[in-house]
């Protein structure tokens, strides 16, 4: 019984600390800089991509990276990804065939060019990707 009370205090401390850290997270938008496909050699492509992004917070510019699935970029479309001749990746989306990693990156960036992030306001360089922003972000222009 003497060890049970300190353990209850310890577990309750860690539980409250975890909830407090989750409540202070801020959700913000970051722009995608680059998308990399994941490979397992000799002939397998992973169904997730590494996303490099940047975001502005307070008076600084921060960079980060994380992993998202291809299905996050193409939620309503069926796709197939494999290595073709010469170890070039080929992405099939509907009737569309996209060859080479650069073209696949450009296609995925056209689907979602930004991501929603969770970041810690005390340590803003610690960020975590939440989801892809599939809505386009535009700035109105009064030049016309």
Q: If you search the block for the tokens 């197939």, which residue do you land on?
A: 80
Q: Where do the structural domains in the chain lie, given as residue ranges?
A: 25-133
**Per-residue model confidence as pLDDT tens digits over 89-130:** 999 998 999 998 999 999 999 888 889 998 888 777 788 898
| Beta strands at 89-93 and 96-99: parallel, antiparallel or unpaired | antiparallel
Helix (H, G, I), strand (E, B) or coil at 7: helix
pLDDT at 128: 87
**Per-residue model confidence as pLDDT tens digits over 14-26:** 888 778 777 778 8
- Those residues with Cβ within 8 angstroms of residue 38's Cβ, 6 or more apart along the chain or in another chain: 45, 46, 48, 49, 50, 67
DSSP 57-93: ETTEEEEEEEEEEHHHHSTTS-EEEEE-GGG-EEEEE
Q: What percent of the chain has pLDDT over 90?
A: 28
pLDDT at 113: 84
Spatial distance between the Cα atoms of 14 and 6, rounded to a whole number of angstroms:
12
Spatial distance between the Cα atoms of 16 and 10, rounded to a whole number of angstroms:
10
């Amino acid at each position: 019984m003497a060890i049970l009370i300190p353990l209850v205090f310890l577990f309750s401390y860690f539980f409250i600390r975890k909830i407090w850290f989750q409540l202070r997270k801020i959700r913000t938008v970051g722009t995608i800089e680059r998308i990399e496909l994941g490979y397992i050699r000799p002939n397998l492509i992973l169904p997730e991509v590494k996303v490099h992004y940047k975001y502005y917070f307070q008076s600084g510019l921060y960079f980060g990276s994380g992993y998202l699935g291809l299905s996050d970029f193409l939620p309503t479309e069926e796709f197939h990804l494999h290595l073709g001749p010469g170890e070039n990746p080929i992405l099939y989306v509907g009737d569309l065939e996209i060859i080479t990693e650069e073209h696949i990156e450009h296609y995925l960036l056209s689907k979602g060019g930004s991501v929603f992030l969770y970041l810690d306001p005390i340590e803003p360089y610690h960020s975590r990707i939440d989801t892809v922003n599939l809505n386009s972000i535009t700035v109105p222009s009064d030049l016309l």
